[in-house]
Structure 1
Amino acid sequence: MSFEVYESVKIKEDNPNKGTKKGDIGTTIMVYDTPNKAYEVEFVDEEGRVKYQGVYLSNQIDKLK
């Protein structure tokens, strides 16, 4: 599965080290092709401040339906 820049996605599993939980919704802000296809995803809080920004592989995120 591939994703586009500025697409809303949700993560598939908890990652306590990153402070994210399964189902958290973020926005892809960058697409990387090397060394692997990966996506930079930004998560914001209720006030619009970035709470976490990190890189995910396509098997770690899903498209919002």
Structure 2
Amino acid sequence: MMLDLFDVVRVKTALPEQGLDAGAIGAVVAILRDPDLRYEIEVVDEDGRTRFLGPIAPDDLERC
């Protein structure tokens, strides 16, 4: 599944090394292709503060 910039995504499985729980909602803010495809996502809290910003493998994400 290919995602586009600004797609809203859900983390499918917990990624404890990233500090993300399964079901975390974020937005695609960059598409990285070198060396492998990764989507940089931003997850924010209820106050709009960034909780996570980093690359995630496509298999760990689903479009909302």
Same fold (TM over 0.5): yes
RMSD (Å) for aligned C-alpha atoms? 0.8
Q: Identity rate of aligned residues, in percent?
A: 28
Could you say which residue in structure 1 is the equivalent of 2:4?
4
**Please, what TM-score do these two structures have when normalized by structure 2?**
0.92
Deviation beyond 2 Å, 4+ runs, structure 1: none
> Secondary structure of the residue that 2:16 maps to in structure 1?
coil
Count of paired positions: 64
Residue in 2 that maps onto 1:49: 49
Q: How far apart, CA to CA, are the structure 2 residues paired with 1:46 and 1:2?
A: 28
Identify, as 1 or 2, the structure richer in helix. 2
What is the aligned partner in structure 2 of residue 20 from structure 1? 20
Q: Does 1:36 align with 2:36?
A: yes
Structure 1: unaligned runs, 5 residues or longer: none
User: Offset at 1:33?
Assistant: 1.4
